[in-house]
């Protein structure tokens, strides 16, 4: 059975939007993790006199 082109476009658009939202969520989680671990790593460097 042939699927209308307009329906295919809607499916592709929805798929792209889901990927975009997923990517945004992943990026925000990564940024939050980096902000949280930054202080821990700085303290580690300070305690070990590492540069």
DSSP class of 4: P
Residue 38 lies in a domain: yes
Phi/psi at 4 (5° precision): -60, 145
Residue 37 lies in a domain: yes
**Could you tell me which residues come within 8 angstroms of residue 37 by beta carbon, excluding any fewer than 6 positions away?**
none
- Residue 14: closest CA among 2, 3, 6: 6
Q: Provide the residue range defining the domain that includes 38.
A: 24-51
Residue 29 confidence (pLDDT): 93
Residue 36 lies in a domain: yes
* Domains of the chain: total: 1
Residue 45 lies in a domain: yes
Residue 12 lies in a domain: no
Residue 16 lies in a domain: no
pLDDT values of the chain reduced to their tens digit, one per residue, 51 residues: 566 666 666 666 666 666 667 888 899 999 999 999 998 988 988 998 865
Residue 15 lies in a domain: no
Phi/psi at 2 (5° precision): -80, 140
């Amino acid at each position: 059975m042939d699927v209308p082109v307009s329906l295919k476009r809607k499916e592709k658009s929805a798929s792209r939007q889901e990927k975009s939202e997923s990517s945004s969520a992943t990026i925000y989680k990564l940024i939050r993790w980096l902000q949280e671990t930054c202080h821990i790593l700085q303290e580690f460097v300070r305690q070990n006199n590492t540069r």
